[in-house]
A = this chain, B = another copy of it.
Amino acid sequence: MTATEETQDVPWGDVTPDAARRLMVAAVEAFAERGYHATTTRDIAGRAGMSPAALYIHYKTKEELLHKISTLGHTKAVNILATAADADGTAADRLAQAVRSFVIWHAGHHTTARVVQYELDALDAEHRAEVVQLRRQCDAAVRRILDDGVKSGEFEVPDIPGATLAVLSLCIDVARWFNVQGRRTPDEVGASYADLVLRMVGARPRS
């Protein structure tokens, strides 16, 4: 799976009806570009080619729209990391795969990722708590790999929670700086970051 397969891979590909999906895509673009609070419902509707009132046929509030985007995005993130963590292979293979695919997603879908990672505070308390649960699952998946690697002697990590945080942090920040006009493709960044992370955890052949 590469980041250029947009048609089927888009997280909200199965959002129906068509108008609801167009509104969601418009909202993701607007939120990523200007931020949730700087985006107006008129802007979202306008990008989707509809009147402002049309938004409220498909979504109860502007916040519900953000909540749906955030939940879909976080679910995708959990899937990516859990798939890599639960795969067969050495801890190094699984860590490299986790970082590579997570980074490719953050770069390839950096608009969605930006909303998912940086607009959490705009959710109301209940919705935020829901999403925080999904984030804990991301953390758990990476920690599982690092635990295994330390146990098998592949990794040398003095502080596993700290290293987990650092690995996720490095990947997440890709959403902030990645630019489509830039020189790097998502695949290149993914490969490069997988290497950097293996060095961070002191990876070496299984002893």
Contact = CB atoms under 8 A, between A and B. Distances in A.
A206 interface: no
Given A184-B162, A200-B200, A35 B37 contact: yes
Interface string A168-180: 0110111011000
B173 A193 contact: no
Contacts of A87: none
A200 to B, nearest CB: 5
A92 to B, nearest CB: 14
A37 B169 CA distance: 25
A182 to B, nearest CB: 10
A169 B173 contact: yes
Chain A interface mostly: helix
**For the complex formed by this chain, how many copies does it contain in all?**
2
Contact of A173 (B38, B172, B192): B172
Interface in A173-207: 173-174, 176-177, 184, 189, 192-193, 196, 199-200, 202
Interface of A: 34-35, 37-38, 118, 121-122, 159, 162-163, 165-166, 169-170, 172-174, 176-177, 184, 189, 192-193, 196, 199-200, 202
20 contacts: A34-B121, A35-B35, A35-B121, A37-B38, A38-B122, A159-B192, A165-B177, A166-B196, A169-B170, A169-B173, A169-B174, A169-B176, A169-B177, A170-B170, A172-B173, A173-B173, A173-B176, A196-B200, A199-B199, A200-B200
